Structures are given as structure tokens and as C-alpha cells.
Amino acid sequence: MAKIKVTQVRSIISRPKRQKETMKALGLRKMNHSVELEATPQVLGMVAKIGHLVKVEEL
């Protein structure tokens, strides 16, 4: 499986609860925090929902 690096670039303050929970589920905790994840359909769907808050890079 391919890997992706997801970095939080915008704050989750004043965001809907669903978006905050998605960030937490991906393992993102604070600004400029990065995680490496497998590019599964589930993860890609979560990233698509919060695409305006994160930066995604392929590894």
C-alpha cells in the first residue's frame, strides 16, 4: 500500500464537531503536526472531508 503524510495546517477552533473528531481519528493533535498513514480508502475519505485543514504528500 502507498503511504501518505498528512500535516495539519489550519486550526480546528470554531470547526464542526465532526471535523474535530476526524482530525483526532487521523492522529493529528496540533498545528504543523504530521502523521504518516497507509493510503486506504477509509483514510483517503477522511482526508477528503478535512482537506481544507490539512496538507497531503505522497511518500
The DSSP secondary-structure symbol of 15 reads: -
Q: Residues 10-53: pLDDT tens digits?
A: 999 999 999 999 999 999 999 999 999 999 999 999 999 999 99
pLDDT of res. 1? 78
Residue 6 has pLDDT above 90, yes or no: yes
Distance from C-alpha of 49 to C-alpha of 44, rounded to nearest angstrom: 9
For the entire predicted model, the pTM comes to 0.90
Position 50: which residue type?
I
pLDDT of res. 39? 96
| Sheet of strand 34-38: strand arrangement | 34-38, 3-8, 54-58
Domains of the chain, residue spans:
3-58
For domain 3-58, say whether CATH 3.30.1390.20 is its number: yes
Of the candidates 59, 40, 15, which has an alpha carbon nearest to the alpha carbon of residue 26? 40
